[in-house]
Structure 1
Amino acid sequence: MNLNKHKKVLVISDFAQELMPILQQVTTIQPENILTLQSYGCIVSHPYGDLMRAVVIAIYQDNVEEILVVGTKDQRTPTVKIPTQLEAIKDKINTLDYLFQNSTPEFQGGTLDEWLNGKENIIENIEKSVDIIRHHALVPPEVKVRGLVVDNQDGKFLIDDIPTSNRV
């Protein structure tokens, strides 16, 4: 993987602890040049949420030149189960689902469940997160945004680039 070892890189990853040593080894980026943000399922769920705010601040405050959204293949995001047996919760879920489907830009389509859990496929979550970051109004076009999947096959780690559409 061709990355300048002196460039500042922001890594958005799941909470898997083994990812950082693997990335440092494969990318040869100096540890002091890597900033990390962790998110369940490496999901940037909203273009104006807290995680995206941290990304924008890192770009301008720490001069981040590249952003890597990294997930682990075959690792499912823990599914959040909200107890729906209580009538008060059912009403709130129905209201939130209505807002998700009918309000913009506050809620990005879908349902409450999709917002909490993301997609079942990690690659789809990474693609969506890369797309949100890449097309954000405050992310400069020269900041490269890439999606990576780490695959542990027989004790050997492979890192694959996820092909995504180019910046518009």
Structure 2
Amino acid sequence: MDVTENKNVLLITGMEDKLEQSICHAASIRPENTVILKSVFPHISQPYSDLMRDIITLVFQKKIEEIFIVRSKNEEQADIDLDNFMLRNPHVNDRLQTIDYLFQNGNPEFPFSNLNEWLNGGKPVAVGIKQSVDLIRRHLFIPSHVKVRGFLIDTEHEVLTEIKAE
């Protein structure tokens, strides 16, 4: 892996504690040159979402030269039981059906096919990382000199495995 010691790096990581320490060690990144942005899901679903706006802002404010999207190999996917939620909250059933209709019929505003897929992420971690790398690389507001890479990390052994994007 290239040593990125003196570059300003934006790490987009999962919510696990101390994940950024393992990443910095595995990638030879100096913590003082690192900005960390934590996200529950491994993918950026929309090019003009709040998360993407945060990324763009950090790239310019902090003079970011490289973006790493890194998720743990052992990360568990979200598992929100929508059916159970509706049983416990029957008063929101009509609203949920309306939202589900919008997901199924309102593309491209709703990039997922249904509410359950949106709540739970809908994609394997590696696929989400790959799609996010592609989205950030191609975004109009990300300078072409900013390098964007995606990784899975084995936190136990502090080993990064790069996820190649198109």
TM-score > 0.5 by shorter chain: yes
Q: Which amino acid aligns with 1:150?
A: I
Match of 2:86 in 1: 84
Match of 2:47 in 1: 47
The question of 1:94 aligning with 2:94 is answered: no
Aligned ranges 1:96-111 → 2 under 5 Å: 96-111=99-114
State the superposition RMSD in angstroms.
1.9
1:45 partner SS = coil
Match of 2:142 among 139, 143, 147: 139
Greater mean deviation of Cα atoms: 18-27 or 61-70: 18-27
8 Å contact kept, 1:151–1:158: yes
Deviating beyond 6 angstroms after TM superposition, the runs of 4 or more aligned structure 1 residues are none
Higher RCO, 1 vs 2 (CA within 8 Å, ≥6 residues apart): 2
CA offsets per residue over residues 42-100 of structure 1, 9 Å max, x none? 33232222111110001111111111111111321232234112444222222212222
CA offsets per residue over residues 19-60 of structure 1, 9 Å max, x none? 211111122221111000001133323222211111000111
Unaligned runs of 5+ in 2: none
Unaligned runs of 5+ in 1: none
Whole-angstrom distance in 2 between the partners of 1:133 and 1:74: 24
Q: Which amino acid aligns with 2:46?
A: H
The Cα shift of 1:120 comes to 5.1
8 Å contact kept, 1:127–1:162: yes
Whole-angstrom distance in 2 between the partners of 1:151 and 1:4: 19
The question of 1:119 aligning with 2:119 is answered: no
Identity over aligned residues, as a percent? 35
2:158 partner SS = strand
Aligned ranges 1:20-35 → 2 under 5 Å: 20-35=20-35
1:119 partner SS = coil
The question of 1:61 aligning with 2:61 is answered: yes
Greater mean deviation of Cα atoms: 30-39 or 13-22: 13-22
Aligned length, in residue pairs: 163
1:93 to 1:135, Cα distance in 2 relative to 1, 3 A: farther
1:41 partner SS = coil
2:119 partner SS = helix
8 Å contact kept, 2:78–2:121: no
